């Protein structure tokens, strides 16, 4: 899978120089897909989407060439035009990134219902648009308030799009009524928080070294004071609480559905669990991250 992704990136000229290609190779996004979608026979499209997310982040957050807000908005507008909810032809792409996304959508979109496409495109737009927000651009200085940061992180982390693709890859699209029920919403939000907050906990040393404060641990440090170790412990406690919330929501959903309905929906729920554990394992092994001394056994 790694070789496929490298060939795919080169075909669309998505890594403009050797340094960018090296960063992409070190990310091991094929491994991330394999760990987070372990029961899927073909993870090609899922791994390509994770790669697209990585490349968008590289484009918008590259310290050597950070685009201004106008360029970010223009890029987002073009990318979203490559994801027509009602399918049909897309405008001619102006960049390799847009061309890659358009080709990817031609493979994924027609396989799913309009309801799923509405959900996926909505989640993709939320993610892309966060790069336009002041909170994304003002990465240095005083951390944002906790409530503001939590909502921002749920959108910027793109976890919702990754969870949507469980239904595509498993061939188990959720019925609309179930997809929008409170229990599924609770499961997905807990998964999102666990994945993104664990990323923050693992990445905080690098963020601090760069002076960045857009991180859950920094937000807690600003809100509660104390040491950075204390703030890391608070973050670990929040993550542990979200594991408990996940278990409660899963039990509630199981009791709501009959046996036949649960057999179908459980494939998606299993996918959420896989994403939590697979993302955690990938973070601990990817060269992009450094394991910190923050008692990870408490959140495993």
Which string of DSSP letters, residue by residue, matches 132-165? TSHHHH--BSSPPPHHHHHHHHHHHT-HHHHHHH
Q: What does the pLDDT read at residue 296?
A: 43
Q: What does the pLDDT read at residue 290?
A: 55
Q: What does the pLDDT read at residue 64?
A: 63
Domains along the chain with CATH numbers:
2-298 (1.10.600.10)
Instruction: State pLDDT tens for residues 52-100.
Output: 999 999 888 765 667 788 999 999 999 999 999 888 888 999 999 999 9
Whether 198 and 157 have beta carbons less than 8 Å apart is answered as no
CA distance 45 to 49: 6
Q: What does the pLDDT read at residue 287?
A: 75
The helix (run of H) or strand (run of E) holding residue 173 is none
CA distance 279 to 256: 29
With a cut of 50, which residues of the chain have pLDDT below it?
A: 293-300
CA distance 131 to 69: 8
Nearest one of 281, 297, 284, 189 to 240, comparing CA atoms: 297
Which string of DSSP letters, residue by residue, matches 96-131? HHHHHHHHHHHHHGGGS-HHHHHHHHHHHHHHHHHT
Q: What does the pLDDT read at residue 299?
A: 41
Q: What does the pLDDT read at residue 67?
A: 77
Whether 75 and 67 have beta carbons less than 8 Å apart is answered as yes
**Is residue 152 exposed (0-12), middle (13-18) or buried (19+ Cβ within 10 Å)?**
middle
């Amino acid at each position: 899978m790694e070789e496929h992704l490298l060939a795919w990136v080169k075909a669309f000229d998505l890594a403009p120089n050797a340094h960018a290609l090296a960063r992409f190779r070190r990310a091991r996004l094929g491994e991330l897909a394999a760990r987070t979608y372990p029961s899927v026979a073909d993870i090609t499209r899922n791994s390509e989407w994770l790669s697209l997310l990585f490349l968008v982040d590289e484009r918008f957050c590259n310290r050597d060439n950070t685009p201004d807000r106008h360029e970010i908005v223009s890029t987002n507008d073009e990318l979203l035009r490559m994801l027509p909810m009602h399918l049909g032809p897309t405008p001619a792409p102006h960049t390799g990134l847009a061309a890659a996304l358009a080709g990817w959508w031609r493979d994924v979109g027609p396989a799913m219902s309009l309801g799923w496409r509405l959900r996926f495109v909505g989640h993709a737009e939320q993610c892309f648009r966060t790069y336009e927000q002041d909170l994304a651009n003002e990465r240095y200085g005083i951390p944002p308030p906790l409530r503001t940061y939590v909502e921002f992180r749920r959108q910027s982390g793109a976890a919702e799009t990754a969870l949507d693709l469980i239904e595509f890859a498993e061939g188990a699209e959720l019925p609309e009524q179930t997809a929008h029920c409170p229990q599924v919403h609770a499961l997905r939000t807990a998964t999102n928080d666990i994945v993104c907050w664990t990323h923050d906990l693992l990445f905080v040393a690098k963020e601090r070294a760069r002076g960045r404060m857009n991180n859950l641990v920094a937000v807690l440090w600003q809100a509660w004071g104390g040491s950075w170790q204390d703030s890391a412990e608070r973050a670990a406690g929040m993550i542990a609480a979200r594991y408990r919330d996940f278990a409660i929501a899963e039990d509630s959903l199981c009791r709501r559905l009959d046996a036949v309905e649960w057999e179908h929906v459980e494939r998606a729920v299993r996918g959420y669990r896989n994403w939590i554990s697979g993302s955690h394992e990938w973070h601990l092994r990817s060269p992009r991250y450094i394991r910190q001394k923050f008692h990870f056994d408490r959140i495993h």
